[in-house]
Amino acid sequence: MILTPGAATLRQLEAVWRGAIPALDPDAYPGIEAAHTEVQKAAAGEDPVYGINTGFGKLASIKIAAKDTAALQRNLIRSHACGVGKPLEEDTARLMMALKLLSLGRGASGVAPATVRLIEGMLAKGVTPVIPEQGSVGASGDLAPLAHMALAMMGEGEAVFDGQTLPGGEALARAGLEPVTFGPKEGLALINGTQFSTACALVGLFTAWANLRAAITVSSLSTDAIMGSTAPLLPEIHSLRGQPGQIEVAGAMRALMEGSEIRESHREGDSRVQDPYCIRCQPQVTGAALDMLRMAAGTLRIEANAVTDNPLVLLGEGRIVSGGNFHAEPVGFAADMIAIALSEIGAIAQRRVALMVDPTLSFDLPPFLTPAPGLNSGLMIAEVTTAALMSENKHLANPCSTDSTPTSANQEDHVSMAAHGARRLQRMNANLSRILGVEAMCAAQGVEFRAPLQTSKALQGVLARLRARVPTIKEDRYLAPDLEAAGDLVASGALCDGLDLPELEGAS
């Protein structure tokens, strides 16, 4: 997959995360070479230029001799590779490397073409640096995680190749690649930048979108399970408000429920006037989450194509200038937006689960959706599990970007906390997938209790996909594996196969 610096799309980036092998547009290399030449000139000159012939951070006032510039970059990488914790998933690490390719490819970083080609080669040959996931505060770049990537490029640290974790040099050698010796500014260009935070946030976004599509689908099945009204889905209601996500979700739900015998059976003579909010206000809540995810997507698409290291080579002006593009505040805000959306999708889904297991609210469904309540507890504790997961996501949704702490002797005195803001999305998405999986199990039980009436053709297909993995609950059994199987169906997107649901591409 050819990536054009400044123009990569979300669809391309998701494809890279899912395994596509990226390469840089060859047209980017003349700019890379020109910027590298400017850095070489600066390194040979007498004037101090930050990060090229000076120390770093608080040590920027210390001039470095030309003969020591290679040692300067090598020491920088070694000293900054201070990550801790479990390794980043390989697919996310590869996406991070692809984002670094895009950034270097803009021709403003000053690295040698050979350095860029090594990243391409590692991606092509399947050499993935081991990146500990903790250690970045999201300003001055994701220094520690990116330093571990650069360490492997030097032939040090660790990398995964052919399923084995190896010393960096051995992994490169087995793949037929040579380590590089970084010249002036190259190490700094690799570790300054937001690519770790952005990659993690993008993975959070892609997974959140799969969860959102599942939420639209499963909530439609839940509406039929409790014999809810589709009047709140009328397009006239949503056009009067005008919120685009709300309009889109209502339309998708109408289409999914079209032709349901269950719905048609209670249009007349139903004593209920209104459904609870978790049924009636689904487009308003899920639609608002859809809009928020798309706003975050727009920010992350821009960031994925951005130059975020320091200093920058301004080729048009023949200058090398220090700035602050490494500050990950936009990514931190986007991650917080995604987290809020995930929390709210889960909150309203959990209320639908609670509604379906409660015989006083479920419109004649048996208690806890078991055919023989009392002797059997049915989905009683599965609902409690969703409450635990929902509560956990509420805690995790607290903003990370409003936190800051000074680092590096107060040189970096305001930071974004984007890295752990983005990393927590993985845990939140896993929680939400399981909440929606339980909701799917409850909705399936409820719809089956409405037999011989059937739900719509589209939702019958959803029910069949669920039942292929999770059989009907006729009497109590060990449910934990079923909860995992249903959650996996949601997370993989398989539950929604073939359905006409909102796409993320509107933001790409």
**Number of Cβ atoms within 10 Å of the Cβ of 329:** 18
* Dihedral sign for Cα atoms in the order 463, 468, 474, 475: negative
**Number of Cβ atoms within 10 Å of the Cβ of 32:** 24
- Determine contact, residues 401/383, Cβ cutoff 8 Å: no
Token reading at 269:
């003579």
Token reading at 61:
């006032």
Token reading at 481:
């594996």
Q: d(Cα 226, Cα 2) in Å, to the nearest integer? A: 49
Locate tokens 């892609």: which residue? Answer: 206
Q: Which of 29, 50, 277, 478 is catalytic?
A: 50
Q: Which of 100, 83, 97, 87 is nearest to 17 (CA)?
A: 97
* Dihedral sign for Cα atoms in the order 396, 397, 403, 405: positive
Q: d(Cα 393, Cα 349) in Å, to the nearest integer? A: 13
Q: Which of 174, 181, 125 is nearest to 153 (CA)?
A: 181
Active site residue 50: yes
Cα–Cα distances in angstroms (integers) from residue 354 to residues 82, 224, 264, 357, 485, in the given order:
45, 15, 24, 5, 20
Q: d(Cα 114, Cα 292) in Å, to the nearest integer? A: 40
Strand 164-167 to 158-161 pairing:
antiparallel
Q: d(Cα 351, Cα 215) in Å, to the nearest integer? A: 13
Token reading at 130:
């081991």
- Determine contact, residues 299/358, Cβ cutoff 8 Å: no
Give the three-state DSSP class for 386. Answer: helix
- Determine contact, residues 459/447, Cβ cutoff 8 Å: yes
Q: d(Cα 51, Cα 27) in Å, to the nearest integer? A: 27
Token reading at 441:
């199990």
Active site members: 50
